Amino acid sequence: MQFGDGLFETLAVVSNQPCLWDYHMQRLQQGCKRLSIIAPEAQLLEREAGQLVGGERQAVLKITITRGMSERGYMPTADSPPTRILSLFAWDGPSTENIKIAVSSRRLGSNPQLAGIKHLNRLDQVLACMECADDVQEALMLDQYNHVIEGMMSNLFFQRGQKLFTPSLTDSGVDGVVRQFILDRAKQQRLEIITGTFTLDQVLQSDALYLSSSLGGIRFVSEVVGHAWQPSASFHPLLRDIAADIFS
Amino acid sequence: MQFGDGLFETLAVVSNQPCLWDYHMQRLQQGCKRLSIIAPEAQLLEREAGQLVGGERQAVLKITITRGMSERGYMPTADSPPTRILSLFAWDGPSTENIKIAVSSRRLGSNPQLAGIKHLNRLDQVLACMECADDVQEALMLDQYNHVIEGMMSNLFFQRGQKLFTPSLTDSGVDGVVRQFILDRAKQQRLEIITGTFTLDQVLQSDALYLSSSLGGIRFVSEVVGHAWQPSASFHPLLRDIAADIFS
């Protein structure tokens, strides 16, 4: 914990069930592999999560895995088992309102070896959140090369005509569970979503912007503070369908 | 603590005194400023450190400052005071032996907004330490642009003829307390130390390599594993003088 040496998952709990459980577990396993942390047994986590969630109709379940106890210094203690922390928080449920976002002045660090996974080194996100005005719920974050990567706590999709795009996450960013759910569903329906590197200008030439996250689902952006952009398309039918399935 | 949202200092305690106290406090204050954390009062920290160090002839004092308690999510709780953690560890004292080092295959993330400060987002260092062979005490770390930045837990100086060089830390790396002490002392003695960006080839064309840190002082490198380099100069007189003063 002293060096952010671990991973976490934040799950929506709806009708006593953690949503997208398999997706969260898959990302957690992959993150453990990337960080060389011994992954917790899936069945054990499922049992513990089940006990904690119990009769909670609606809540947020947070699962944190750290490399384990250690003394001073960066070198982990060889035989220390990983630590599991499961905690439950009250939650009002997903909002379906459109959101007003900003563009953060904070830049994401570039770090291909850590990109994609949901590790605990999150100073970029904390500092970006702190600078946000009260009436703004999210902010786009750019990387060191002037590419738009994601929201502070969500992934970005954007639309031109009927085509959908999402930034590549090879250098920075978190590969969100809902992002992966969207990409899988699009593939099943043989609809291509184009992954690439995009500047802010390119993103703001789009007809619609969406932010996806485990607690927010897929949210439609109504305004980008400080920019003349506004949506010229309505909610993409594919994304609307998927959005309905995230919390069910 | 859940997002590595804080700073730390590791101080050598010798003859009941924390070494380079003013340098550590200055860096901690600067780090707090950069992260918008309310810095602890210097007098308070000094008193608490004094109580903890007490009659310890030789030890390591670690001071960790976090933004404070918070619930779930990246947004800090507005009125939560920062957390101070002071802890004391046994220590054998600085070693004066030459060290054998490697070159890490891990690359430091590039993040100018976090570069220089000793924050708690240290996955790069933990992962680099884990890959190191047992007989190697340190490893040089390169950044995303193929420049050598520092050791895993130390700063790098290198020597060509009588000239001294050290990597710039504007994109990544930690601005070490001993590094700053060396730069200040060199300035007092009107000896220029050249700061810049250097490739591994350039570093390995040097006559001598040194790694500086709070617990290691200034250590002379005898070997770089996997490279034909070996020192062709003896300990630079300026660095030898400074090394003697770090723990006194």
CB within 8 Å: B120 and A2: yes
Distance (Å) from the alpha carbon of B42 to chain A's nearest alpha carbon? 22
Give yes or no for residue B56 having a pLDDT over 90. Answer: no
CA atoms of A121 and B4, how far apart (whole Å): 6
A83-90: strand order across its sheet: A17-18, A6-14, A58-66, A83-90
Q: Is A144 on the interface with B (CB under 8 A)?
A: yes
CATH of domain A99-246: 3.20.10.10
Q: Which residues of A touch B60 (CB under 8 A)?
A: 72
8 Å CB contact of B1 and A1: yes
Could you tell me which chain A residue has the CA closest to the CA of B37?
A: A127
> For the segment A34-50, what is each residue's pLDDT rounded down to a tens digit?
999 999 998 999 999 99
Q: Which residues of A139-150 are buried (b: 16+ CB within 10 A; e: fewer)?
A: bbbbbbeebbbb
The two tokens of residue A89 are 């928080």
CATH number of A6-90: 3.30.470.10
Inspect the interface and report whether the beta carbons of A2 and B89 lie closer than 8 Å: no
**B contacts of A115 (beta carbons < 8 Å):** none
Distance between CA atoms of residues B156 and B140, nearest Å: 8
Q: Kindly state the percentage of chain A with pLDDT values over 90.
A: 87
What is the tens place of the pLDDT at every residue in A183-203? 999 999 999 999 999 999 999
Our answer to whether residue B10 is catalytic in this structure is yes
Cβ(A185)–Cβ(A150) below 8 Å: no
**Packed helices A42-53 and A21-35: angle between N→C axes, nearest 10 degrees:** 130
- Confirm if A70 and A190 have CB atoms less than 8 A apart: no
DSSP run (H or E) holding B10: strand B6-14
Q: How far apart are CA A38 and CA A81, in angstroms?
A: 8
> Percentage of chain B surpassing pLDDT 70?
100
Statement: residue A159 has pLDDT above 90? yes
* pLDDT at residue A184 in the model: 97
Compare B60 and B2 and report the one with higher pLDDT: B60
Only one residue has tokens 């929201």, namely A151
Q: Give chain A positions within 8 Å (CB) of B121.
A: 3-4, 121-123
This prediction has a pTM of 0.94
Tell me whether residues A4 and B120 touch, CB distance under 8 A: yes
Name the catalytic one among A9, A66, A118, A166.
Answer: A118
**B28 and B41 Cβ atoms separated by less than 8 Å:** no
CA distance, residue A233 to nearest chain B CA (Å): 31
So what's the pLDDT on residue A186? 96
Where are the domains positioned within chain A? 6-90, 99-246
Question: How confident is the model over A128-154, as pLDDT tens digits?
Answer: 999 998 889 899 999 999 999 999 999
**Which of B39, B3, B238 is CA-nearest to residue A130?**
B3
Phi, psi (5° rounding) for residue B18? -65, 130
Q: Is B201 helix (H, G, I), strand (E, B) or coil?
A: helix
Q: Choose, from B10, B64, B83, B197, the residue flagged as catalytic.
A: B10
Q: Which two tokens stand for residue B38?
A: 């309310």
Q: Looking at residues A176-187, what average pLDDT do you find?
A: 98
Q: What are phi and psi of B15, to 5 degrees?
A: 50, 50
Contact by Cβ (8 Å): A107, A152: no
In angstroms, the separation between the Cα of residue B160 and the nearest Cα of chain A is: 31
Hunting for tokens 């007092």 — which residue is that? Answer: B188
Give backbone dihedrals phi and psi of B167, rounded to 5 degrees, phi first.
Answer: -65, 145
Is pLDDT of A70 > 90?
Answer: no
**Residue B86, beta-bridge partner list:** B63
Asked if B74's CB is within 8 angstroms of A3's CB, the reply is no
- Does position A1 have pLDDT exceeding 90, yes or no? no
Token pair for residue A144? Answer: 């060191």
Q: What is the pLDDT of residue A130?
A: 93
Query: B42-53 vs B21-35: helix axis angle to the nearest 10?
Result: 130
Q: Does the active-site annotation cover A195?
A: no
How much is the pLDDT for B75? 86
Q: Among B175, B157, B78, which Cα is nearest to B119's?
A: B175
What pLDDT score does A8 carry?
Answer: 97
Task: Name beta bridge partners: A83.
Answer: A66
CB count within 10 Å of CB A215 equals 21
List the single residue in B with minimal CA-CA distance to A111.
B109
Q: Would the CATH topology of B6-90 be identical to that of B99-246?
A: no
Note the pLDDT of residue B111: 95
| pLDDT tens for each residue of B137-179 | 899 999 999 999 999 999 999 999 999 999 999 999 999 999 9
* For residue B189, pLDDT beyond 90: yes
Q: Which of B9, B56, B138, B150 is catalytic?
A: B150
Token pair in block for residue A244: 């309905």
Across the interface, of A5, A74, A119, the residue whose CB is closest to B153 is A74
Distance, in Å, from the CA atom of A12 to the CA atom of A94, rounded to the nearest integer, reads 8
Residue A55 DSSP label: T
Q: Which of B4, B113, B130 sits opposite A36 (nearest CB)?
A: B130
Chain B residues closer than 8 Å to A108 by CB: 111
The percentage of residues in chain A with a pLDDT greater than 70, rounded to a whole number, is 100
Asked if B118 is an interface residue toward chain A (Cβ–Cβ < 8 A), one would say no
Alpha-carbon span B165 to B196, nearest angstrom: 8
Whether A4 and B8 lie within 8 Å, measured CB to CB: no
